[in-house]
Amino acid sequence: MANQKDFPVIFELSKPGRTGYSLPDLDVPEVDLSHELEDEYIRTDEPDLPEISELQLIRHYTALSKRNYGVDSGFYPLGSCTMKYNPKINEDVSRFEGFSHAHPLQETNTVQGSLQIMYDLQTSLEEITGMNTVTLQPAAGAHGEWTGLMMIRAFHEKNDDTERTEIIVPDSAHGTNPASATVAGFKAVTVKTDENGLVDLLDLKRVVGPKTAALMLTNPNTLGLFEEHILEMAQIVHEAGGKLYYDGANLNAIMGYVRPGDMGFDVVHLNLHKTFTGPHGGGGPGSGPIGVTQELTPFLPKPVLTKDVNQYFFDYNRPDSIGRVKPYYGNFGINVRAYTYIRTMGPDGLKQVSEYAVLNANYLMRRLQEEYALPFDQHCKHEFVISGKNQKKLGVRTLDIAKRLLDYGFHPPTIYFPLNVEEALMVEPTETESKETLDEFIDVMLEIAQDAEEQPEVVQEAPHTTVISRLDETMAARKPVLRYIK
């Protein structure tokens, strides 16, 4: 097995005098600005950079890219992350020069086409979610959560309702929910899950009250189950004077069938880099638009993109706005991709997406149930959670199962989340996978379960075929080696 150390870093390939680039001749007069800088800021020695040829550089990065794994390499059932196929037509359209060369500081009358794309995307998302107004400003899901909560806060403050300091979050919620509540200055209060995997209504009635600013909810929840009492929950929270926040990162379970606006939600965020096929990974760029009811519309971040008879323009005259949440107007490129996706699918196509996402998840769940424990035995939506507790009794942990999947070329599901399921494996196949791919994954998962009984060490010591075997994950997180020091 190759060791990570055998792989030369680019500095080790360096030979003095080699170059991999040539700069064009200067076509403006040379200017010496050094007298404008303080001495301490003026570099006196050469930067310590690798000196290599173009060919070496290309080979180095190509070799690195082959070690990478993504949706274009294979099945990636990472629950809650919605790692679905990113159609290449989205990439083509986002690279149109009219879009990719536009500058955010251009006069709006010179970028009417780009503004129309943004406006039409807002309108489509309003229709899909059933909300009054959508803004494209937030850069990701968590950023949308924070923006929405800041608006709810501004709403309560406007009504002199300043005692509302708590956000109710289910114990199965995505980790960003309590985090966003805290960053927005609220206290996150937990509501329990009942034996059916849904929010415990009695517990909700217990925690809701005059301090409740909002309930944050994902529906279907992170167990992949639809909160069927949502209308009753909305009534409980609204009667107490709170608002309902919808975490719509994974709308591909219900899109085209049910709308958060119709379920009683006041604020919704969407992850365009999940449901609407934007690529994600490497930290972005993402897009986390939020949609709100008419009542909350005055608090939207400004500027708000709008139009009159002649043109699209940005409205800055928003006295109740929470202000800007991002420089410029959102991550435009990812919004163009989402727009292209929505237009290529059409309303019926988006509906079909939900059908296939749910069908694929249920097929996988019922087949994996042959060997793995299923804590909540009900039909699921786009994802489901199984438990490795039977295998744990044989000395094989969920982490071992995840590592063993790497030997077969599969990215593992999300593990040890949600926290309320022992040895959790959270599986989200997405709508874009074929039955053949799902069957291959099922065969491998059943084989691993069999190995756990017959030859557990094979699973416990996995992976066996990857470039490096098990990482010391604590060391990697605590003491990351991020640069090469000569």
Ligand X SMILES: *Cc1c(COP(=O)(O)O)cnc(C)c1O
Within 8 A by CB and 6+ apart from 29, the residues are none
Q: What angle do CA 225, 226, 232 make, to 5 degrees?
A: 135
Which range binds ligand X by CB under 6 A, 93-101, 118-126, 226-234, 244-252?
244-252
Q: Which is nearer to ligand X, 151 or 249 (CB)?
A: 249
Within 8 A by CB and 6+ apart from 398, the residues are 388, 391, 392, 415, 416, 423, 424, 425
Q: Does 140 bind ligand X (CB under 6 A)?
A: yes
Q: Does 330 bind ligand X (CB under 6 A)?
A: no
Which range binds ligand X by CB under 6 A, 134-142, 291-299, 407-415, 440-448?
134-142
Q: Does 141 bind ligand X (CB under 6 A)?
A: yes
Q: Which of 124, 133, 137, 218 binds ligand X (CB under 6 A)?
A: 218
Q: Which two tokens stand for residue 262?
A: 């119709």
Which range binds ligand X by CB under 6 A, 136-144, 296-304, 412-420, 422-430?
136-144
Q: Does 169 bind ligand X (CB under 6 A)?
A: no
Which range binds ligand X by CB under 6 A, 137-145, 303-311, 338-346, 351-359?
137-145
Q: Answer yes or no: are the C-beta atoms of 411 and 405 closer than 8 Å.
A: yes
Which range binds ligand X by CB under 6 A, 138-146, 152-160, 226-234, 337-345?
138-146
Residue 190 φ/ψ region, left for φ over 0, alpha for ψ in the -120 to 50 degree band, beta for the rest: beta
Q: How far apart are the first and last CA of the chain?
A: 26
Provide the minimum distance between the beta carbon of 125 and ligand X in the complex, in angstroms, as a whole number: 15
Helices (H) and strands (E) in the chain, counts: 15, 12
Helix %, strand %, coil % of the chain (to 5): 40, 10, 50
Q: Answer yes or no: are the C-beta atoms of 313 and 118 closer than 8 Å.
A: no
Q: Does 176 bind ligand X (CB under 6 A)?
A: yes
Q: Which of 93, 214, 249, 365 binds ligand X (CB under 6 A)?
A: 249
Q: Which of 286, 412, 413, 463 binds ligand X (CB under 6 A)?
A: 286
Q: Answer yes or no: are the C-beta atoms of 344 and 358 closer than 8 Å.
A: no
Q: Does 156 bind ligand X (CB under 6 A)?
A: no
Q: Which two tokens stand for residue 129?
A: 């979610």
| Total residues at interface with ligand X (CB under 6 A) | 13
Within 8 A by CB and 6+ apart from 478, the residues are none
Q: Which of 93, 118, 134, 142 binds ligand X (CB under 6 A)?
A: 142
Q: Does 271 bind ligand X (CB under 6 A)?
A: yes
Pinpoint the alpha helices (H) of 159-214.
Answer: 176-183, 201-207
Provide the minimum distance between the beta carbon of 466 and ligand X in the complex, in angstroms, as a whole number: 26
Q: Does 184 bind ligand X (CB under 6 A)?
A: no
The site string for ligand X over 77-96 (x = CB under 6 A, - otherwise) reads ---x----------------
d(CA 135, CA 122) in angstroms, rounded, equals: 7
Which range binds ligand X by CB under 6 A, 121-129, 247-255, 309-317, 455-463?
247-255
Question: Which spans of this chain sit near ligand X (rule: CB under 6 A)?
Answer: 80, 140-142, 174, 176, 218, 247, 249-250, 271, 286, 288
